[in-house]
Every structure is written in structure tokens, then in C-alpha cells.
Amino acid sequence: MFRLWAKIFCENHMLQEICIADDSSDTRTHKVFRALEDACCRMDLARPFWLDKNVSEFKRHSKTRFTQDNFIETIPFDHLEIQVIEED
């Protein structure tokens, strides 16, 4: 089972969270992208852009933060954080 935890923070307070589970046989990359898209859809957010910083951070820690730089429109929070909390 693969699970990704997505959290929205504003001023160091968690405003919203969601956990997305995926038990498909896809690659880890596909699971991450699909879970992020699902989480953003459920939280009514535009999907963020992955910058080089996010990719390297995610590779090292299985966790990254998306700030205003990752979104086209203005966001009403400080950052969206995603973290893989369970993998096969």
C-alpha cells in the first residue's frame, strides 16, 4: 500500500489535510503524481509545478513543500506539504 499525506499550512497552523492511498502496481513516480493530483482536486487547489528544489527534496526525504512559487494563481495559505508515509 502506498499512502501520501498532503497538508495545507498557514502561519504554522495546519488548515487542512488529506491522506491518499494507492494500491495499484504503478511505479512510485506515477503514484506520487496521481496522489498529488487527487489531493489537490479534493482540496480544491490547482496542481502545483514541480521545481528542481522540490524534486531533489522529495528524492532525499520523501517530503516536499510547495509555496507560492509553485502555483500560477495566488494561494490563500503559506505552503502545501506532501509526504509519503507508507510504501510497499
**Alpha carbons 12 and 48: distance in angstroms, whole number:** 20
Would the pTM of this model clear 0.95, i.e. be above it? no
pLDDT recorded at residue 86:
94
| Angle at alpha carbon of residue 8, lines to 21 and 52, rounded to 5° | 80
Strand order in the sheet with 13-22: 13-22, 2-10, 79-86, 63-66
Residue position matching grid coordinates 495566488? 74
pLDDT recorded at residue 27:
94
Domain count along the chain: 1
Domain of 7, in residue numbers:
2-86
pLDDT recorded at residue 88:
79
pLDDT recorded at residue 1:
93
State the chain's mean pLDDT as an integer.
96
> Which pLDDT tens digit goes with each residue over 43-79?
999 999 999 999 999 999 999 999 999 999 999 999 9
